[in-house]
Amino acid sequence: SLVVSPPYIKPPQRGLVNHFTQMADMGLPVVVYNVPGRTAVDVTPETIGIVAEHENIVAVKEATGDVSRVQAIRDEEQK
């Protein structure tokens, strides 16, 4: 499932970790969708690195438009 960060409420990063891991705990494969232009909150590479440890979080759709984020996310996931 494609899971976007909650729009309008601007949760802190720890709230995003909780949001994505709760979705992944439901048992479906999860794609984290980072689209801050629509949700008003950016899922940081550090947060993506944390949630990527969950076995059901299988991919990231990064829509910031900043291509350097791809390497930053890879670096976090390899820690």
Catalytically annotated residue among 8, 10, 61, 79: 61
- Give yes or no: 61 in active site: yes
Catalytic residue among 8, 10, 33, 79: 33
Contact 33, 63 (CB under 8 A): yes
Active site residue 10: no
Q: Assess contact for 33 and 61: CB atoms under 8 A.
A: yes
Tell me the C-alpha distance between 67 and 79, whole Å.
20
The catalytic residues are 33, 61
